[in-house]
Amino acid sequence: MSALMNIYARLPIAISHGEGAWLWDDSGRRFLDGFGGIAVTALGHAHPRIARAIAEQAGQLMHTSNALDIPLQQQAGQALCEIAAMDSAIFCNSGAEANEAALKIARLHARTRDIESPKVIVMENSFHGRTLATLSATGSEKVQAGFGPLVEGFVRVPFDDLDAIRAAAAQHDDIVAILVEPIQGEGGICPPSPDYLPGLRALCDTHNWLLMFDEIQCGMGRTGQWFAHQHTTIKPDVMSVAKALGNGFPVGACLARGGAAQLMQPGNHGTTYGGNPLASRVALEVISIMREENLLERATLLGDLISTTLREQLADNPLFVEVRGQGLMIGVVFNQDPTAVRDAAIDEGLLLVPAGQNTLRLLPAYTLSEDDALEIAHRLSRAANRVEGMPA
């Protein structure tokens, strides 16, 4: 029996080391990393500047306490607020915790409106984490199964459907916020229609609701802007960030703007590790590297290259439905369960993960060379063509 609880359906591949977009298993086999630890290693593996920042900071000071001033946390908060156009940050260690903080801010917003039993509008097909509150917000019965009673106070509507929100508003007078991924990730890489996010902003303004964006998977440059909602002109009141913010070091943040940034007061929230000197130093270094190496532009360029190549190479494959997403957040949709294609891709030396229904996800590093980007597309196309040729 394993000493680990049985919570993952793991592939039998043990990676021993990585460099850039490449990973090597313990038998020396080399793989292209097509999913970057699920949208985490945006700068690739073993980035020398990240490795150096961690080593230097570990040699100087890793942790003190949020009972003391942490100048590096101030700097990381400043850098993050600058790129996000937000006012202030709470640091934490994961995406779920960032969303927990967002949901707590929504509850405090309810208090300012004298609402006793506040409700947050959440979406079908969404994913917000595995803590009790965030799994209750998540739109997946599979994620929730076995964990009732769920946290109360969520009204669920279909994604990309403004009328459904108008109907919810007519039915409930105790709504205080909307929590939504600007592009759904786990749900299958689903971008909404162009008028959706501005429509949400308008509804929140009309009803005095907080607009809360979960940018944990689609943020930090992945779609070609720092945050996916920045492809529009609207701003959220609250935003959660994690994953690529630490390039593999666990760090997350909940950001807020305007009145929403004033709601948390001393004693309302806290964390032992969140934003410690080591985590803050890594987040700062990640932001600097993305800025200095123009990696947002690169995410757009490489995303277009991979998506266009896949569309060309899969056009005649009867299993292929579409490529969707933005920048380096790419979903390749098939008309059947994509596990066989995923397995064939592994044989081709390409690692990727499924998402939602019938979709394989590509979330590679923004530091990919163009050759490696093309190689990802070629290997996936070859894998899909091999599966297509197999007897059903």
Whether the CB-CB separation of 247 and 40 falls below 8 Å is answered with yes
Residues 320-379 that bind ligand PLP (CB under 6 A): none
- Beta bridge mates, 334: 320
Where does this chain touch ligand PLP (CB under 6 A) — which range of 199-207, 213-221, 303-311, 343-351? Answer: 213-221
236 belongs to the binding site for ligand PLP (CB under 6 A): no
Residue whose C-alpha is closest to residue 245's, from 257, 227, 231: 227
Burial 325-349 (b: 16+ CB within 10 A, else e): bbbbbbbbbbeeebebbbebbbebe
Q: Quick one: tokens of 244?
A: 């690529």
Is position 243 annotated as part of the catalytic site? yes
- Which residue is catalytic, options 31, 159, 243, 372? 243
100 belongs to the binding site for ligand PLP (CB under 6 A): no
Q: Least CB distance from residue 220 to ligand PLP, whole Å?
A: 12
Q: Least CB distance from residue 35 to ligand PLP, whole Å?
A: 11
123 belongs to the binding site for ligand PLP (CB under 6 A): no
| Cα–Cα dist 65/333, whole Å | 46
| Cα–Cα dist 302/374, whole Å | 9
262: CB partners within 8 A, 6+ apart:
none
How many residues in the shown chain lie near ligand PLP by CB under 6 A? 15
Q: Quick one: tokens of 203?
A: 């509804």
Is position 119 annotated as part of the catalytic site? no
Is position 343 annotated as part of the catalytic site? no
CA distances 240 to 48, 149, 161, 265, 286, Å, are: 27, 25, 22, 19, 17
Where does this chain touch ligand PLP (CB under 6 A) — which range of 106-114, 210-218, 323-331, 369-377? Answer: 210-218
First to last CA, the chain: 35
34 belongs to the binding site for ligand PLP (CB under 6 A): no
Nearer to ligand PLP, 123 or 310 (CB): 123
Where does this chain touch ligand PLP (CB under 6 A) — which range of 107-115, 125-133, 161-169, 267-275? Answer: 125-133
DSSP state string for 306-341 = HHHHHHHHHTT-TTEEEEEEETTEEEEEESS-THHH
Q: Least CB distance from residue 124 to ligand PLP, whole Å?
A: 14
Residues 155-194 that bind ligand PLP (CB under 6 A): 181, 185-186
Q: Least CB distance from residue 259 to ligand PLP, whole Å?
A: 24
Q: Least CB distance from residue 140 to ligand PLP, whole Å?
A: 12
Burial 83-106 (b: 16+ CB within 10 A, else e): bbebbbbbbbbbbbbbbbbbbbbb
Q: Least CB distance from residue 60 to ligand PLP, whole Å?
A: 27
Where does this chain touch ligand PLP (CB under 6 A) — which range of 24-32, 93-101, 332-340, 345-353? Answer: 93-101
Strands 238-241 vs 252-256: parallel, antiparallel or unpaired: antiparallel
94 belongs to the binding site for ligand PLP (CB under 6 A): yes
**Contact residues for ligand PLP (CB under 6 A)?**
38, 94-96, 99, 127-129, 181, 185-186, 214, 216-217, 242
Active site residues: 127, 214, 243
